[in-house]
Amino acid sequence: MNDAVFDPAVQPVALPLREILPWAAFAGLLLLLALYFVGAEQGATSLIQGMAVHEFVHDGRHLLGFPCH
């Protein structure tokens, strides 16, 4: 009888924090920007005039629980 021994050929590579941190900060900034446009882009805090952004994110706003009317 043969005994099979698990010996992985590929070892995991550790990623340094210095390589991940800029991408994590960029992703966080994009998420905050998306959250602003979905949650608060209307009324007094509006950066873009008109209702185009509101209408574009209207269903997503309700899906995420933001009231808008």
> Tell me: the pLDDT tens digits for 27-50?
999 999 988 888 777 767 777 787
Please tell me the pTM assigned to this model. 0.62
User: How many domains are contained in the chain?
Assistant: 1
How far is Cα 49 from Cα 32, in angstroms, rounded to an integer?
20
Task: Report the chain's mean pLDDT, rounded to a whole number.
Answer: 82
Q: What domain range includes position 51?
A: 42-69
Tell me if 64 is assigned to some domain. yes
Helix (H) or strand (E) holding 21: helix 17-39
SS3 31: helix
Tell me if 28 is assigned to some domain. no
